[in-house]
Amino acid sequence: MFHTLARCAADLLVGGPGASKSSYAWQQVYRALEHGAVKNACANGKKVTLLPQEIQDFANTFVTMQQKRHSADYDPMATATKSEVLVDIGLVEKVINDFAKANIKDRRAFVALVIFKQRK
């Protein structure tokens, strides 16, 4: 999900495949995402709920999957069955596909939310 979002951000802000763009600028935007900042932005219900359901589902699933990833990486007592993992993979694939179908202006708004520091 993280790389889907990074690619989306770079494509929307700099230009996607076939666009005349700076490779350096594209890489800068791609690398601008920070895991913690993205998670915090995704968990910001006040902002995320202003976006369409496909974006909300992506944000909520991002938070859940990051928590599961951290548990798998850092908790030696954490366990998951193969069937649980396959269900998660199916969910992530659906959420990514729905996200890709969301209106470009809404994906762009979400990218701005997760990349840029929020000012009060």
Whether this model's pTM surpasses 0.85 = yes
Residue-level pLDDT, tens digit, the chain, 120 residues: 999 999 999 999 999 888 888 899 999 999 999 999 999 999 998 999 999 999 999 999 999 999 999 999 999 999 999 999 999 999 999 999 999 999 999 999 999 999 998 777
Q: What pLDDT sits at residue 26?
A: 94
Q: What pLDDT sits at residue 66?
A: 95
- The number of helices, as runs of H, and strands, as runs of E, in the chain is 7, 0
Contact 99, 17 (CB under 8 A): no
CA atoms of 42 and 113, how far apart (whole Å): 8
Q: What pLDDT sits at residue 16?
A: 84
Q: Which residues does 3 contact at the CB level (< 8 Å), separation at least 6?
A: none
Q: What pLDDT sits at residue 120?
A: 73
SS3 33: coil
